[in-house]
Structure 1
Amino acid sequence: MKKLFVLNGGAAVKPGNKSAFLKIDDPLSTFARGGINTGDVLVYDAMLKALAYDQITNVQFAHAADEKLWPTDDYDATVIRGSNYLTETVDIGNVIPLLKKLKGPIVPVGVGAQAAKYKKLEMPKGSIEAWKIIADKCETIGVRGVYSAEVFNDIGIKNIRIIGCPSFYRNLRPSIEIKPLDPANARVGLTLNKYLSADYASNATKTNRMQRALIEAVAKRPANRLYSQGEREETLAIFETGEAKQKHIRSILGKYNLEGDKDVEALMSERMQAFFDVDEWAADARDNVDVLVGFRLHGNVIGLHQGIPAVFFTYDSRIRELSTLFAIPSVEIEDYMPINLEKIFESADFSKVQHVYRLNYAEYHRFLTENGLNHVLAKPVASPPEQPLVKPNLVKIDQTTEEVTDWFRGEVDFMTSEIETLRSRAWNLELKLREKTSPDAGAKLAS
């Protein structure tokens, strides 16, 4: 019997050990407590599909200090589910005692750095020590892209392979064929992320304003749909009814200043979906969308691995390095230009994606093999890349002067309104402070 120990899998496993899902009996009570990123479940699911083990045991990083959860038997291998572990704020030092105790290889699959922009990271000492222990216990560490590799190199870890994210290879095939796209009539699947700031957006204002414009554009096509990738309010809006449902929808609309937009209200009321089972999520995308766009990494990958074209909106290091590695067409939020779906789809160049996928798949195959992991990947049809891609495949759109002028006029009006609102709030606060600190304030209170 081949046994696999997993660190930070983050989901339940179906019988047969080939699929991951979130076991949620009551979505309303679960998401009332907070959101759950179902993209992490997709990563775990893809790893399970690629690996072949009879017994799987998981311990989350958050519980790794609890020795009662440590394995008592010997395992053939340990894998770490890829995620954004390389940051200036995430410290995995609590996992060190378990890492030292584990026997056999410890193989991280798809580790990534997280920052608003490419920069040198000052990682916590606990994380640095933990990753050095892991590096000594594996042949290579699988990382998401060039930037993540550079972050490891900065802390002295050089035994890495740039494999991307396991979710890209979920179909287990050595090649993919991107389906043709009808720009004018394509059914669009959209994902959003309302909480992009700090390490998750190089410019939060531009990111949120471009999300707003994208929502408006997608909502105009009645066959389009919106996927919640575990966001709290969106998921609650799907499972709630009546006034409770409308309350959540109004909150989402308010976040994007879209109150009163009937098209967007209809999109969120009637065509918003959420899935806790990755197999079901993938099937829905396969059957109902022709192209995916949006601000969630795995909200696009759920289609890409099935050959459904996708366009990324890039706003942080993670999205930029992965879309670059796979030559996926991307719209850079820093360019801050108007959204025209048809023009974006017409201009998106998918010609490189199929070729680059074959090369990256070969590198993933080599990575799993050299680390001694028991896997079921088919033999590659190409050799690994000599060098990973470093130049993004940006979507270049010919905008008319009128389109650009209208866009920036509207944005200037919005920003001006926001500035006036902030000035008014600041003035009201100053008046209240004056009342409390004026010489008469004490006398008024005494009387």
Structure 2
Amino acid sequence: MKKLFVLNGGAAVKPGNKSAFLKIDDPLSTFARGGINTGDVLVYDAMLKALAYDQITNVQFAHAADEKLWPTDDYDATVIRGSNYLTETVDIGNVIPLLKKLKGPIVPVGVGAQAAKYKKLEMPKGSIEAWKIIADKCETIGVRGVYSAEVFNDIGIKNIRIIGCPSFYRNLRPSIEIKPLDPANARVGLTLNKYLSADYASNATKTNRMQRALIEAVAKRPANRLYSQGEREETLAIFETGEAKQKHIRSILGKYNLEGDKDVEALMSERMQAFFDVDEWAADARDNVDVLVGFRLHGNVIGLHQGIPAVFFTYDSRIRELSTLFAIPSVEIEDYMPINLEKIFESADFSKVQHVYRLNYAEYHRFLTENGLNHVLAKPVASPPEQPLVKPNLVKIDQTTEEVTDWFRGEVDFMTGEIETLRSRAWNLELKLREKTSPDAGAKLAS
């Protein structure tokens, strides 16, 4: 019997070990406590589909210091489900005792660096020690892009392979065929991420304003739909009814200053979906959308691995390095230009995606094989790339003077209003502070 131990799998495993899902019997109760990133479940699911083991046991990084949860049996291998482990703020030093205890290879699959933009990372000492232990226990570490490889190199770890994210290879095929796209009539699937800032956005204001414009554009097409990727308010709005449902929708509309937009309200009330089973999520995308856009990485990947075209909006190191590695058309939020869906789809160049996928798949196949992992991947139809791609496949759109002028006029008006709101709040706060120290002084200022 082949046994696999997984660190940070993060989901339940179906019988047969080939699919992952979230065991959520009561979504309202679960999401009342917080959101869940179902993109992590997709990564785990894709790993399970590629690997062939009879028994799988999982422990989360957050619980790795609890010796009662450590495996008592010997395992043929340990894998680490890829995620944003290379950061300045996340210290995985708590995993070190378990790493030292585990026997056999420990193979990270799709590890990545996380930063708002490219920079040298000052990683915590505990994380550096943990990754050096892991590097000594595997042939190679699978990283998701060039930036992640550089971060490992900076801490002295050289045995890496740039494989992307395992979710891209979920169909287990050595090649994909991107389906043709009708820009004017394509059914669009959208994902949102309302809380992008700090390490997760090079510019939070631009990111959220471009999300707002994208929501408006997508909502105008009545066949389009919105996928909640574990976002708390969206998911609650799907499963709630009546006034409770409307309350969550109003909250989302308020976040993007879209109150009163009937098209957007209809999109969120009638055409928003959430899935906790990855197979069901993939099937819905296959049957109901022709192209995917949005601000969630795996909200696009759920279609790409099936040949559904997708356009990334790039706003942090993770999205930029993965869209570049796979030559996926991308719109850079730093360009901060108006959203025209038809023009974006007309200008998006998917010609390289199929070729680059075959090369990256070959590298993924080589990575799993050289680390001695039992897998079911078909034989590659190409050789691994000599060098990974480093230049993004940016969507270049010819904007009219009128389009750009209208966009920036609206944005300047919004920013001006925000500045005035902040000034008013600051003034009112100052009045309150002065009243506390001297009531007479506050009254004189107010008059």
TM-score by length of 1: 0.98
CA gap 1:355/1:442 in 2 versus in 1, 3 angstroms = closer
Deviation at 1:441, TM superposition (A): 7.7
Task: State the 1:445 CA deviation.
Answer: 18
Give the SS at the match of 2:58: strand
Which range moved further: 66-75 or 230-239? 66-75
Equivalent position SS for 1:381 = coil
Question: What is the CA–CA distance in structure 1 between the aligned matches of 2:256 and 2:238, rounded to whole Å?
Answer: 18
Q: Helix, strand or coil for the counterpart of 1:79?
A: strand
Q: Distance in 1 between matches of 2:168 and 2:274?
A: 20
For residues 441 and 340 of structure 1, do their structure 2 counterparts lie closer, same or farther at Cα, with a shift above 3 Å needed? closer
Q: What CA distance in whole angstroms lies between the structure 2 residues aligned with 1:91 and 1:39?
A: 22
Q: How many pairs are equivalent? A: 447
Deviations 1:263-303 (A, max 9, x none): 00000000000000000000000000000000000000000
1:314–1:442 Cα change, 3 Å: closer
Equivalent residues of 2:188, 2:292 under 8 A apart:
yes
Aligned pair 1:77/2:103, yes or no?
Answer: no
Distance (Å, rounded) in 1 between the aligned partners of 2:439 and 2:102: 68
Q: Output the CA distance in 1 between the equivalents of 2:238 and 2:123.
A: 38
Residue 45 of structure 1: aligned partner:
45
How far residue 54 of structure 1 moved from its aligned partner, in angstroms, is 0.3
* Aligned-partner SS, 2:355: helix
CA deviation vs aligned residue, 1:314-334 (integer Å, no higher than 9, x gap): 000000000000000000000
CA gap of 1:441–1:374, structure 2 versus 1, over 3 A, is same
Q: Secondary structure at the match of 1:431?
A: helix
C-alpha spacing 1:104/1:186, structure 2 compared with 1 (3 Å): same
Residues 120-146 of structure 1: CA deviation (Å, up to 9, x unaligned): 011111100000000000000000000
Stretches of structure 1 that go unaligned for 5 or more consecutive residues are none
- Report the equivalent of 1:111: 111
Q: 1:445 to 1:118 in 2, by over 3 A?
A: closer
State whether residues 435 and 442 of structure 2, in contact with CA within 8 Å, keep that contact through their aligned partners in structure 1: no
* Structure 2: stretches of 5+ with no match in the other structure: none
User: Aligned equivalents of 1:165 and 1:143: distance in 2?
Assistant: 8
Q: Is the 8 A contact 2:90 2:124 kept in 1?
A: yes
Counterpart contact for 2:312–2:328, Cα < 8 Å: yes
Assess, with a 3 A threshold, how the Cα gap between structure 1 residues 381 and 271 changes in structure 2: closer, same or farther. same
Aligned to 1:233: 233
CA distance in 2, matches of 1:29, 1:245: 14
Counterpart in the other structure of 2:123: 123
State the 1:169 CA deviation.
0.1
The percent identity for this pair of structures is 100
| Cα distance in 2, alignment partners of residues 333 and 222 from structure 1 | 26
Deviation at 1:66, TM superposition (A): 0.8
Q: CA deviation at 1:439?
A: 7.2
Confirm or deny: 8 A CA contact 2:431 2:445 kept in the other structure: no
- Given the alignment of the two structures, is residue 182 of structure 1 paired with residue 210 of structure 2, yes or no? no
After superposition, the C-alpha distances for 1:135-167 in whole angstroms (9 at most, x for unaligned) are: 000000000000000000010001000000000
**Deviations 1:1-51 (Å, cap 9, x if unpaired)?**
000000000000000000000000000000000000000000000000000
The alpha-carbon deviation at position 443 of structure 1 amounts to 14
Q: TM-score, normalization: structure 2?
A: 0.98
Residue by residue, what CA displacement relative to the aligned partner does 1:306-347 show, whole Å, maximum 9, x if unpaired? 000000000000000000000000000000000000000000
Question: Aligned pair in 2 of structure 1 residues 340, 74: CA closer, same or farther (>3 Å)?
Answer: same
SS in structure 2 opposite 1:372?
Answer: coil
Question: Partners of 2:218 and 2:152 in 1: how far apart?
Answer: 39
Give how far 1:436 is off.
1.4
C-alpha RMSD of the superposition: 2.0
Instruction: State the SS of the aligned residue for 1:413.
Output: helix
Most deviating of 434-443 and 19-28: 434-443
Note closer, same or farther for the CA distance 1:434–1:307 as it changes in structure 2 (3 Å cut): same
Check whether the contact 2:76–2:104 (CA below 8 A) recurs between aligned residues. Answer: yes
Q: Distance in 2 between matches of 1:442 and 1:412?
A: 33
Q: CA deviation at 1:56?
A: 0.3
Q: Which moved more, 1:68-77 or 1:245-254?
A: 68-77
- Aligned residue in 1 for 2:333: 333
Q: CA deviation at 1:440?
A: 4.7
State the Cα distance separating 1:210 from its structure 2 match: 0.1
Which stretch has the larger CA shift, 26-35 or 61-70? 61-70
Offset of residue 444 of structure 1: 14
Counterparts of 1:400 and 1:443 in 2: how far apart (Å)? Answer: 53
In the other structure, the counterpart of 2:345 is 345
Rounded to whole Å, the distance in 2 between the matches of 1:209 and 1:445 is: 36
**SS of 1:404's equivalent?**
helix
Please state how far the C-alpha of 1:438 moved relative to its aligned partner: 2.1
State the match for 2:377 in structure 1.
377
